[in-house]
Amino acid sequence: MRNLRRQAVRDHLIRYGGDSFPHLFRSASGTIVVDDTGRAVLDFTSGQMCATIGHNHPAIKEAIRKSADTAMHMFSGMIPEAVADLAIKLAEWVPEPLSKSLMVNTGSESNEAALRIAKLATGGYEVVALGGSWHGTTGASAAASFASDRRGYGPKVPGNHAIPEPNAYRCPIEHCRDHCDMTCMKVGLKMFDMASDGAPAAVIAEPIISAGGVIVPPKGYFTALAEACRSRGMLLIFDEAQTAFGRIGHRFAATQLGVTPDIMTVSKTLGGGLPLAATITSDPIEDVAHQRGFSFYTSHVSDPLPAMAGLAVLQTIERDGLVERAKEMGTYLEQALSGLQQRYEVIGDVRGQGLLLGVELVKDRESREPFHTLGARTTERCFELGLSMNIRRRTERGSVWRIAPPLTVSRAEIDRGVTILDQALRESLDSLAGETS
């Protein structure tokens, strides 16, 4: 049966890009996934960042059982009690004046809704995003994504502009080194102003640019960006798909930064493994959008099943103190990775916050030339040894591991993961050296 299923993957599934593995997978629990040979693998991706509180958490399973006994889906115009409960809980979590939520399924959807609201509320249509950004694969969200996957699909939604990302380690405008003075933003906004048709609507940004290489903008960056939005009559959208609900050791990046966006989108870290996302804004912005005819009437808007799961995620984070735990475990993991950096010249940079960390691989620290071969080989060897993580930005602009275990990860699991990474790096470097000798 195992071989038949593997053959079915080759014969009957459309390949959708990204990392692929030689085996199928059977089960998942906590930080562990099990493949079809029965081998356990430590998951330092949190299941594409979605298993915030670990795979198959008991609270999520109980929420699913409760939904099965009450309702899993309803007519889109009917608001389930679970959705109202989740809206109350989200309003308690988010910074003021954010208070109104739209419950959808994916990060792409939440960003589509955010951009539609921004365009209606401002009357404009031009959107600015950061280089290296990833906001989704649907129309407007894909047009505002600049990390990858832009080629071959024809024209994008009109009105989208990119400004260089604030990457101090690998400055996109070749201006800074190790300290970003935000010239990238100033130049990018000047270019936007020159290209603008006079219909600005929004700036959309990840507070930590995750798919673009786990880039943490410098202090003051988003304060300045918010002011740039105000001066142009644009709304600021924070895409907190990967930074919300404790992932970085804070409730949100917005609360840590002291900058509240006009619209916030949340997704991956909310559903506990189920497809759930939300678009959150203030009363005045929601009212203007509503008066101008805002519509996002989809088949699975306000579904009760994922809403129950989202409520269980937030209650578990609160009950178990997982925001503080993410800060503590993130510090422990970052120190361990920095220890590897001291031993391996090929680790050029360790960065990130909480349990969202990036490790950049270089051929040497002076030139900072990306070491793509080592990244690919070590990632493969890590998986063979029982550790799953993924590599980001396989381009001339960096080769970066994104390491993001669940908020429930233990010190022992971190120690095991770092030990595997150490062994995989050592063996991969020895192998490459043998090939060139």
Active site residues: 134, 206, 239, 242, 268, 402
Burial of 363 (0-12, 13-18, 19+ CB in 10 A): middle
Amino acid at 174: E
What is the C-alpha separation between 126 and 136, in angstroms, rounded? 17
Confirm if 43 and 31 have CB atoms less than 8 A apart: yes
Confirm if 269 and 247 have CB atoms less than 8 A apart: yes
Annotate the chain with three-state secondary structure: CHHHHHHHHHHHCCCCCCCCCCCCEEEEEECEEEECCCCEEEECCHHHHCCCCCECCHHHHHHHHHHHHHCCCCCCCCCCHHHHHHHHHHHHHCCCCEEEEEEECCHHHHHHHHHHHHHHHHCCCEEEEECCCCCCCCHHHHHCCCCCCCCCCCCCCCCEEEECCCCCCCCCCCCCCCCCCCHHHHHHHHHHHHHCCCCEEEEEECCCECCCCCECCCCCHHHHHHHHHHHHCCEEEEECCCCCCCCCCCCCHHHHHCCCCCEEEECCCCCCCCCCEEEEEEHHHHHHHHHCCCCCCCCCCCCHHHHHHHHHHHHHHHHHCHHHHHHHHHHHHHHHHHHHHHHCCCEEEEEEECCEEEEEEECCCCCCCECHHHHHHHHHHHHHHCEECEEEEEECCEEEEEECCCCCCCHHHHHHHHHHHHHHHHHHHHHHHHHHC
Residue 302 vs residues 87, 176, 278: alpha-carbon distances, Å: 10, 46, 10
Residue 388 vs residues 24, 34, 70, 272, 378: alpha-carbon distances, Å: 14, 11, 37, 19, 11
